[in-house]
A and B are shown apart, each in its own frame.
Chain A
Amino acid sequence: QKEVEQDPGPLSVPEGAIVSLNCTYSNSAFQYFMWYRQYSRKGPELLMYTYSSGNKEDGRFTAQVDKSSKYISLFIRDSQPSDSATYLCAMSAKEDKLSFGAGTTVTVRA
């Protein structure tokens, strides 16, 4: 079993829809949680960074962490065609290397 499991997708949604992305993990020591966005032919760029459980909001993006369920989510409200990308979850324990999900490719249709 992989340490981090991410819904594989792909997801295709109409413009304006809410996009929901999820990852589950097995290592209870994880306490730093990230979402990266990767456009085609580009490297991943950091989108959201959270510590421990709870919610974090940044514009149209909301990251949720539920450590009791070992489950993290990313929500994109009012999705735009420019949100079409691959989204990667990543997480780590304190002072340790990141573990990545395999990524979910999202297409927002105009």
Chain B
Amino acid sequence: GQQVQQSPTSLVLQEGENAELQCNFSTSLNSMQWFYQRPGGSLVSVFYNPSGTKQSGRLTSTTVIKERRSSLHISSSQITDSGTYLCAMEGMGYKLTFGTGTSLLVDP
């Protein structure tokens, strides 16, 4: 079945540092999304990025379909960026398969 591998599992940054989160897919994909989740909270879509590069403020997502990977770059991290970032792929059938997430902690 479809598998989604995220790395790193966890990450600790000092405020102002940059972060690069990775997502690798075991099968071909039609599209992928990045989500943000606070502890015990709901998930909020950060990027819908089927291919190429997209930027939103300090966040940049790059998806390379042929290489079955996507990355999320966070620049100048802030304390409020702390939480879990999950990636998910849509292989076929209009449903998403999720990775297990990267837990990010940004310290002051």
A and B pair up: no
B interface residue numbers (CB < 8 A to A): none
